[in-house]
Amino acid sequence: MTDVVILGLGYVGLPLAREAVHAGASVCGYDVNEAVVANLNAGRSHVDDLTDAEVAEMRAGGFTATTDETEIASAATAVICVPTPLSEDGGPDLTAVEAATRAVARNLRPGMLVILESTTYPGTTDEIVRPLLEASGLRAGVDFHLAFSPERIDPGNSQFGPRNTPKVVGGHTPACADLAVSFYGRFVDTVVRTKGTREAEMAKLLENTYRHVNIALVNEMARFCHQLGIDLWDVIRAASSKPFGFQAFYPGPGVGGHCIPIDPNYLSHNVRAKLGYPFRFVELAQEINATMPDYVVRRAQDILNDAGLAANGSSILMLGVTYKPDIADQRESPAVPLARLLDGLGAKLSYHDPYVDRWDCLGGTVPRVEDLHTAVAEADLVILVQGHRAYDVDQLAGQAKRFFDTRGVTTVDTAHRL
């Protein structure tokens, strides 16, 4: 008998598997990607937060990866950690969740605990997952246990990981919640119990909607503060001195990653579909954040125009193309729409990123510069899109003809800041 099978071995499932292995649990990882499974079994990692050595350590602790779904039947607990991207209509694409749930249903045994971790809209566990599982003939809360526990992985965060980030858990029944709390309690320091699965589902959406709306607020402030001649970065620094009632958010060239650009849309879509009216805060925030690449391009054009240059034919170097600093993750990175807009204006684009050796964008590969300092000095405009710690931004700004800092990390007067 295996303690747990984790379905989906990406940025969520693999760190979860590592914590379970460290707690002494026997863990099997299931994934439909044969290359991922083969690499993990060979001790090779494909996510930023785990090194090859850590995967090898997991293997030594008994972790195995498989594409054989029949292995699910041997587990006491099955945790679904598959992606939920946006569908064409703006709601969550539950294709992977449904496929994983059907795989569990085909191997469901009496007494098994099934937990969904994939982010989705309130009601998914009860309205989508439960009926698929109960097609096996077993009943949730009677013959097997069912719960929802939203993933809270923050890739690249060295301070908070799966163990010390509190785990929210909502059960289909109180007994289901008891079992899920006990399961996570083996390797998570704090488990927070909700009234049910819908409350747990909504908690994750509230977290990211809160961030989404506040990022949109400072993004809009960045636009009018620039026009008013106000240094918004200095404003945020000053406001942050208040020890209560304020949390700092920062503007940028757009929002990226697996949560902020996507999760609030699940909620907005669900409100429209079920209640028939818009979630106006979310939709306005989405509009503001989605247009930040356009704003950055307009600012870039202004900087070039002031020097008597047009974007068409100018050499523009983009620094940092990942969605957050100091990791290789490019999911939903604002660098992509920014590059498309600049390319559409006829700019000669190149990029540098210490974590990305090849950047496939614009229907092909954008040239990567190898000699960073020479490229910075020669470009007509350098745009800092992501502020990796590896960059000495003030030095680079001093070397550049024109330097546009979209992250507010430069301190020299020669840099243009968002």
Spatial distance between the Cα atoms of 123 and 128, rounded to a whole number of angstroms: 8
In the set 81, 176, 225, 259, the catalytic residue is 259
Spatial distance between the Cα atoms of 173 and 185, rounded to a whole number of angstroms: 18
* Token representation of residue 384: 């800092």
Spatial distance between the Cα atoms of 285 and 118, rounded to a whole number of angstroms: 23
Of the CA atoms within 13 Å of residue 376, those in its CB half-sphere come to: 22
81 is annotated as an active-site residue:
no
CB neighbour burial string for 322-338, b if at least 16 within 10 angstroms, e if fewer: bbbbbbebbbbbbbbbb
Which sign, positive or negative, has the C-alpha torsion 345, 350, 356, 357?
positive
Phi and psi torsions of 172, nearest 5°: -65, -35
CA torsion angle 17 20 24 26 (round to 10): -50
Spatial distance between the Cα atoms of 233 and 32, rounded to a whole number of angstroms: 45
Torsional class of 117: left (φ above 0), alpha (ψ -120 to 50), beta (otherwise): alpha
The CA distances from residue 33 to 38, 72, 93, 401, in Å, are: 9, 16, 18, 46
CA angle 277, 281, 287 (to 5 degrees): 100
Catalytic residue list: 259
